[in-house]
Structure 1
Amino acid sequence: MIRDNLDIGRPDQVNLIFDRQLRHGGQRPTPSRLRTRIITEGVTLGLHVDYTHATIKQYHKEGKALRTETTINDTRSYSAGEVVRVTQHLARPGLDPFAANDVMLQRIGQAIENGQPLSAGQANFMRHEWTEADPLDQGMPYEQAHDQALTVHPPGRNYDPDVIDQFPEFGPWWRNMNGLGPR
């Protein structure tokens, strides 16, 4: 796993994760801090990828990823207009209303309005819903679009842990993925 990801922080490979073209030189070069670090502490390995205002940290043990953390430290990564887009997406006919989504949208809107960084769960929520919305707009069936959206964030990490704790609809798997004990 580590060996396969040594290049994800290099400018010519960054679009594998961030789907963004880098511009070198010219009028508007991509402002960036790009690096991949392999952290070794005893037998536990860690993969840290930095890209401008985002960081992905993955911790490994015995060749398997134990935990992945995503942090986006720039609220300009999402705008109020994008929150409106996600709100409209979630209000589509055929999608069941879910109060936890409303809580997440309210928190994200407040963070953007107040210039605060989004939590990892909030950033993953936006990334998930945004990724799901575009294929649905193009006619893809919901199940397929949802499965595609599940690949853009760590499993079970697209809600804030206290939101998961607040809503009983999130079962044991969700609680476990977010370090919450049984109800």
Structure 2
Amino acid sequence: MQTTPYPRTFSHIGISVPDLNAAVDFYTQVLGWYLIMPPTTIEEDDSPVGVMCTDVFGAGWKKFDIAHLSTGDRIGVELFQFNNQQNPEDNFEYWKTGVFHFCVQDPNLEELAEKIEQAGGKRRMKEPRYYYPGEKPYRMIYMEDPFGNILEIYSHSYELTYASGAYQ
């Protein structure tokens, strides 16, 4: 009998955006993610997917648009555009429960940060920060996509960054 759970793999994340087509363009052109299902409208009806969405959202959601993408390491990304979509004034309320960012990895994070800015995103930090200054090139920076979603960029893998005790 197994008493310690085995580590589950990450399947996908859902991200709400105000303009699905613009988001598909951004994530495929800037981050290089694969489009695996183009933008599709899902309606509240008696179809299997309509019933499933009512189970998730409750009655009255009417319709939404969705696209499915995949990262280079096969993590799924669902982009949603809901009818009643609202842009918060500040999408960086990190002290509140919930997901406040997602992270991508690129060895040249400075170049990716520049591409994100050129595509309408913005920096949350002026410059990348080094985890081990003068010792290892591991660095990170917080950004926003053009839709206000917070994303972080790591130069190296999560395991490499933290295996040496990045906060010690």
| Global fold match (TM > 0.5) | no
- Whose RCO is larger (CA < 8 A, sep 6+)? 2
Structure with the higher strand share, 1 or 2:
2
TM-score range, shorter chain: under 0.3
Structure with the higher helix share, 1 or 2:
1
